[in-house]
Structure 1
Amino acid sequence: MKPVRTWAVAILLPLLLSLLAPALAGVPSSPPVIAAHPPGAAIASGHALATEAGLQILRAGGNAFDAAVTVSATLSVVEPISSGLGGGGFFLLHDARTGKDVFLDARETSPEAATPARFLDAAGALDRNRSENGPWSAGIPGLPAALVELAHKYGKLPLATTLAPAIRIARDGFPVYARMESGYGERRAVMERYPGTRAVFLADGHPPKVGETFRQPDLARTLQAIADKGFDGFYRGPVADRLLAGVRAEGGKWTAAELAGYRIREREPLRFLYHQWTITTAPPPSSGGVALAEILQMASGWDLRALDPAHRVHILVEAMRRAYRDRTIHLGDPDFVRVPVARLASADYAAGLRASINPDKATPSSLLPGQPAPLEDNETTHFSIIDRDGNRVSATQTINLLYGSGLVAPGTGVLLNDEMDDFALKPGTPNAFGVMGFAANAPKPGKRMLSSMAPTFMESPDKVAILGSPGGSRIITEVLLGILGYDDGLTAQQVTQVPRFHHQWLPDVISAENGALDPATVKALQAMGHTVNAGEAPWGNMQTVEWDKRGNTLSGGSDPRNPVGKAAVLPQP
């Protein structure tokens, strides 16, 4: 992979335009032709089988929302390391017929029994084993409800059709890939505690091996129950009974009422302007949209393209620092706490924060640094879809850490999430991703934990881009750099290759992929007072599609950091 340096593009694009200017000076101007509909459809997802399954549904007459059901369910089968029916997600939708954008919140919810005291050890410290592993770490899943909502309210095809590819792949199997094998190795000690998990992942007598066929017959039957009975196929009846029994057998406590009472929340997306782009993105309980609005509006006070690499990174890092501080203090589930979204996302608020940025010197973070934030390159997944009518989906779904809680409820094939760790279980104590929280993100019955997932649309007068990525607390900065890549004129594939760097207030360090920052830039940043870790392994898995209305072309980009992902364009028949 040869990453694209955005500052290189910033230098070359103006130079190219200046060279072309004399030749264009004598050409009569005419209004650009802007296409009303895309010339086909495009899908980018974290696994080729999911992308191909989505294209199959589009060929069968489905729309982007039908394809989203198929891609989401297929990813739940082929990426157990990243997401699944036992987790949740966010779905950002654009209905081309009405012009309406809507945000489907399928985030997991806290069980009533999961009080903060349940996650403390005898000394009053956070019990990380309980918050990250097994039944107590799992929230009530939301993804199955999202599949039903998408199909019934927005799709054209029945669930029996859109879930058929995922059911077939779960039943017949798919080849194990390297991330599955290595991830199992990291989580093996936890996963093999539970008989339901052993029945799935040790079915052949040994852990998954690259190239072997991995089959999940119980998961196929659970998907079939959803296809047959919709919401009740998962949240009531035999599947629900098995989920409850599986959690109870390992010492946890869910109730039938909590499962049956789960509901999707339909929310108004967050919108703001950056240069010529309208950015439509995730509202709380995601912190992603608010943080993006803060960072980009702070950064808009500088011409980033005109800055040298070190100052460009410095300005963005200072904006990241301030946005992540606000994330920690203010954000939570808006159904339970008052989140000052309008103020935090306003241009005036950003201007006030911008005024506190010294353009040549780092601002030390307020508190003592915590532990370095672990990577989440193998966890969570994202897909982007646009259809021939212009309907769009940007969706990010997860079970949190590698293989979630590690617990498969026997007889269901459902690997449960460990999203309870995303709550502030002990105020002021960092979670698995090194981010902290306080009262706004404390668990309460039915409450949704704060997330960084940031499915996003970008729209200018002549372009539409759909993007998102996994990455834990780094999702926000990955999407940020993707937005800046599109703003710099990069193609969809180039956007996925942009080198990544990150700052999240605490720990007070710039993290960067190996090679993302050259030695001179690192030295200049250090001279400004930054601590820089410039040698980290690559992270993230961006999936994006772009519609160029002026040329009426579609393109997709799939992150080369993930070799099993795929972006594909389906031409207009």
Structure 2
Amino acid sequence: MLLVAFVPAAPAADAVRPSAPAHPPGVAIASAHTLATQAGLDVIAQGGNAFDAAIAVSSTLSVVEPISSGLGGGGFFLLHDGKTGKDVFIDARETAPAAATPDKYLLPNGEFDRDRAENGPWAAGIPGLPAAFVHLAEKYGRLPLKTSLAPAIRTAREGFPVYARMARGYQARREVMERYKGTRAVFLANGQPIKEGDLFRQPDLARTLERLAAQGFDGFYKGETAKRLLAGVKAEGGQWTAKELAGYTVRERAPLTFQYNDWKVTTAPPPSSGGVALTQMLQILDAYDLSKLDEAQRTHLIVESMRRAFRDRTFYLGDPDFVQIPMKTLTSPYYAAGLRATINPQKATPSDQLSGQQTPLEDEETTHFSIIDAEGNRVAGTQTVNLLYGSGLIPPGTGVLLNNEMDDFALKPGTPNAFGVMGYDANAPKPGKRMLSSMTPTFLESPQKVAVLGTPGGSRIITMVLLGILGYDAGLEPQAVAALPRFHHQWMPDLIEMETDALSPGTQQTLEAMGHRFKVPGNAAQGGRGSSHVWGNLQTVEWDKTTNTLMGGSDPRNPVGAAKVVESAPSR
């Protein structure tokens, strides 16, 4: 994977104020659930570093957020080693089973089989998250895997209170989840669907985690757990093999890096589409002083940058181990300048006027956590099972809810997936291939500050991270960044989608006069979803080097999330 370095390097160390501290004064962790945040702090207190804490946070989220992620899914981990200054991207994305060819997702009449793509065994890719835990522990952590997984095992065995979002999500997916014997055994253990306030225990998942803790990679991808996974998939009509399960491998890739104003941005490379899109959008916007523009003009330019980046996402991006991606072109400032030249400052560009053919170039789903430790190590981790509760299928005896990431492939070229984004040959499924993702864990670093951020939200992840970066650039503190109102455009459909009241009525009117169309919350006639809605669950932490202080921001849209700072942690 090419390391993109297309702008002047970040300011040299001697350009930083002489009094700048060498390391943060403690630990900051932000995640989507307070139990996961605390798990990370507990592991650091036992002598671990940010990478051990990442295992603890990620595995605990896998227990307490089955609606968003789990051992049956995958994720991306962006790491920074405080001692060496090295950044690395850990790709634990799911892979396609050999049997999952595009024809398997078509109905007899040739139409796309949406149910098979989203529900049950054919929707699931080979999980990557357990392998990521082993990789992090063996290569970057300081503690044995059994120590870092202990909080998750305890929480799975002893249980935790069901929260409102988890109960609502179950009701939305109940029909699918109750198709499967293994899922019913977990979610109908007391004969009734889970409801808010119930104590939710997962003894099978605890035993699966214990085998992983004791045996490492073989404890999940071989042996007893593997046998149960394969049997459960086969019983529901799926076709996984022991060879492809045991053959799963984590990939280490070079992150994308570029400069935006005073910030060095380090972010996710393919098979994430997020880093390339961020690079394009911010390089387009780099020519404008957004702080001097009114809300309507600023929003117009941001939307036009989104529109162009998502158009390129549709055609060019996929798994770099399988397809040639024109990275030099897509991330070039000259290419961004060409895109910028197509923007009319006073008028929206209809998406169908941006070529729908390739040119000769080369929300509540998912979860995120951010960590900085006292040694200067950093982790931005984003993980998922795709849609709410993934495929809905738990192979009996495992407690492992399988993902439905196969829908993130272009299973039928030009047909939108569940998030409304399309793809073509670059993202077509092949055995062992990783599906394109929007997950965008990101670092920001300036002479004065370091920030870690990311969020769930399907295709909206990329634009939420963009807005978060623009918030930091405007001088906002982490909690304000996490709370920023959100809007989104993804080329097709040609609509600005936004949270309720994200833009003022006057701004909406001005943008509509420029030719923009809106997906208005609550207005079914304009594509709305009903009542007032919000999206995302951004988690971010910041180290201010000028004051040597740590701060965290946890999205106020999620009442069970938590950002915690422990100052004066000893440096080891």
TM-score (norm 1): 0.93
Deviation at 1:534, TM superposition (A): 4.1
Aligned-residue CA RMSD in angstroms? 1.3
Is 2:561 aligned against 1:565?
Answer: yes
After the TM superposition, which of the residue ranges 190-199 and 361-370 deviates more from structure 2?
A: 361-370
Q: How many residues align?
A: 538
Q: Deviations over 1:6-56 (max 9, x none)?
A: xxxxxxxxxxxxxxxxxxxxxxxx956211100001000000000001100
Q: Aligned partners of 1:82 and 1:108: how far apart in 2?
A: 15
Q: Deviations over 1:479-502 (max 9, x none)?
A: 000000000000000000111000
Contact 1:495 / 1:557 at 8 angstroms: preserved in 2?
yes
Is 2:203 aligned against 1:207?
Answer: no
Q: Structure 2 counterpart of 1:553, which letter? A: T
Q: 1:302 aligns with which of 288, 293, 296?
A: 288
Q: Structure 2 counterpart of 1:568, which letter? A: K
Contact 1:517 / 1:534 at 8 angstroms: preserved in 2?
no
Contact 1:384 / 1:544 at 8 angstroms: preserved in 2?
yes
Q: Structure 2 counterpart of 1:559, which letter? A: D
Deviation at 1:209, TM superposition (A): 1.0
Which residue matches 2:257? 271
After the TM superposition, which of the residue ranges 415-424 and 344-353 deviates more from structure 2?
A: 344-353
Q: Aligned partners of 1:329 and 1:322: how far apart in 2?
A: 12
Which residue matches 1:384? 370
Q: Aligned partners of 1:175 and 1:526: how far apart in 2?
A: 45
Q: Aligned partners of 2:17 and 2:265: how far apart in 1?
A: 25
Q: Aligned partners of 1:270 and 1:54: how far apart in 2?
A: 27
Which residue matches 1:230? 216
Q: Aligned partners of 1:67 and 1:457: how far apart in 2?
A: 17
Q: Aligned partners of 2:444 and 2:406: how far apart in 1?
A: 31
After the TM superposition, which of the residue ranges 339-348 and 233-242 deviates more from structure 2?
A: 339-348
Which residue matches 1:503? 489
Q: Structure 2 counterpart of 1:548, which letter? A: D
Q: Aligned partners of 1:435 and 1:369: how far apart in 2?
A: 16
Deviation at 1:368, TM superposition (A): 11
| Ranges in structure 1 where 5+ consecutive residues have no aligned partner | 1-29, 371-376
Q: Aligned partners of 2:353 and 2:183: how far apart in 1?
A: 41
Query: What pairs with 1:158-557 in structure 2 (closer than 5 Å)?
Result: 158-366=144-352, 377-535=363-521, 537-557=533-553
Deviation at 1:457, TM superposition (A): 0.1
TM-score (norm 2): 0.93
Q: 2:45 aligns with which of 26, 51, 59?
A: 59
Which residue matches 2:113? 127
Q: Deviations over 1:376-419 (max 9, x none)?
A: x2210000001000000000000000000000010000000000
Q: Aligned partners of 2:397 and 2:298: how far apart in 1?
A: 53
Q: Aligned partners of 1:514 and 1:534: how far apart in 2?
A: 8
Q: Deviations over 1:393-452 (max 9, x none)?
A: 000000000000000010000000000000000000000000000000000000000000
| Ranges in structure 2 where 5+ consecutive residues have no aligned partner | 1-15, 357-362, 522-531
Q: Aligned partners of 1:474 and 1:123: how far apart in 2?
A: 32
Q: Structure 1 counterpart of 2:333, which letter? A: A
Q: Any idea what SS the aligned residue of 1:163 has?
A: helix
Q: Deviations over 1:38-84 (max 9, x none)?
A: 00010000000000011001111100000000000000000000000
Structure 1 stretches of 4+ moved >6 Å: 367-370
* Alpha-carbon distance change, 367 to 225 in structure 1, aligned in 2, over 3 angstroms: farther
Q: Deviations over 1:144-172 (max 9, x none)?
A: 00000000100000011000000000000
Deviation at 1:342, TM superposition (A): 2.0
Q: Any idea what SS the aligned residue of 2:459 has?
A: helix
Q: Deviations over 1:290-347 (max 9, x none)?
A: 0000001001111111111001000000000000000000000000000111211111
Q: Any idea what SS the aligned residue of 1:401 has?
A: coil
Q: Aligned partners of 2:104 and 2:353: how far apart in 1?
A: 27
Q: Aligned partners of 1:32 and 1:362: how far apart in 2?
A: 47
Q: Aligned partners of 1:367 and 1:351: how far apart in 2?
A: 18
Q: Any idea what SS the aligned residue of 1:50 has?
A: helix
Deviation at 1:533, TM superposition (A): 2.6
Q: Structure 2 counterpart of 1:195, which letter? A: K
Q: Any idea what SS the aligned residue of 1:81 has?
A: coil
Q: Aligned partners of 2:520 and 2:169: how far apart in 1?
A: 24
Is 2:100 aligned against 1:114?
Answer: yes
